[in-house]
Amino acid sequence: MSSQPVIQTHELTKVFRTYRKEEGLMGAVRGLFHRKYSETRAADRVSFSVNEGEFVGFLGPNGAGKTTVLKMLSGLLQPTSGSASVLGFNPARRPTELKRQFALLMGQKNALWWDLPARESLELNRAIYGIERKEFERTVDELIELLDVRDKMGVMVRELSLGERMKMELIAALLHRPKVLFLDEPTIGLDVMSQKKVREFLREYNRRYKVVTLLTSHYMQDIEELCERVILIDHGKLFFDGSLEEVVSRFTSTKIIEVDFSAPLPDDFVPPGTVLERNPQQLRIEVPRSEVPSACTALLAGGLVIDLSVNEVPIEEVIRRVFGKQQEEQKELCGKQESRN
């Protein structure tokens, strides 16, 4: 670990002002002289730090502010207030030294030239970054081997499948050996096998080169397999920063019990806890942690149990509940503010 954080933000804030047009002709006329604006805090005093080699999940629902923060860290957006530091540089000033040391890959944006073969498109990136020929060939050879796309280098980018194109986008992003990698939904739209291949590659690349990686994804499998640490953000506010295990322990007070029975359960059998799934010979329930022993005893008492397991609530469900609760609290807060006004 480096003594200084590679990425550091302090109360980073971005406020967007949008013009609110009044209805009708008179509203349009009034708007010429007295415009009304509404403000949206896409990022609201966000503070965190990331050290060398960390692979951090940056999670939140749509519109939470994730991409806005990544764009400010990349220098694509100027913050309204607060500060950020990436590799010791202020990204808002867009210094050339920083541009050569980080990469931003957005799953819904294309960085390659569609009308060129993949190799020629990568050649353009080589020229842009001024990468020496030998270094370029060595890097490309390693990356196409890791991603298994050697036979696709001569194919036009527009003719590649979505998964193949994303792999090429990864190669383009990593050509200049960045020390910091921002990934915004890198597996979005990919099939299961392509997602798996991309995750394996990212894990191996991080292990080899200790690249600081900040990942946003709506696929919880990406987060579970790649990130030991997660940052949760909603309505522009950061409200959790810790390990996946801490998310489960902090935001859930229940466990899942799954039971297989040797014979169908009686119709009048009332299981403990909350029933999540019930079949004639299978049962899946959720019970408070403190009631797990008594629930297991009650289930075993009938003598029909052939298998029983106690598990944590799946992390994907935990995250869904957390953001659902955050959104409910935000609505209540907005409702109180409106009533005051």
| Higher pLDDT pick, 188 / 135 | 135
| Higher pLDDT pick, 70 / 1 | 70
Note the CATH number of domain 253-312. Answer: 3.30.70
Would you state the structure tokens that stand for residue 127, as one six-digit string?
A: 């020229």
Residue 27 predicted with pLDDT over 70 = no
Residue 264 predicted with pLDDT over 80 = yes
CATH topology for 7-248 is Rossmann fold (3.40.50)
| Confidence at 242, pLDDT banded by 50, 70, 90 | very high
pLDDT at residue 1, rounded to an integer:
42
pLDDT at residue 21, rounded to an integer:
67
Residue 14 predicted with pLDDT over 80 = yes
* Statement: the pTM of the whole predicted model exceeds 0.75: yes
Domain ranges of the chain: 7-248, 253-312
Average pLDDT of the segment spanning 61-87: 92
pLDDT at residue 277, rounded to an integer:
92
Would you state the structure tokens that stand for residue 311, as one six-digit string?
A: 């598990």
For the ranges 17-21, 82-86, 168-172, 293-297, the lowest mean pLDDT is seen at 17-21
Residue 333 predicted with pLDDT over 80 = no
For the ranges 109-113, 177-181, 309-313, the lowest mean pLDDT is seen at 109-113
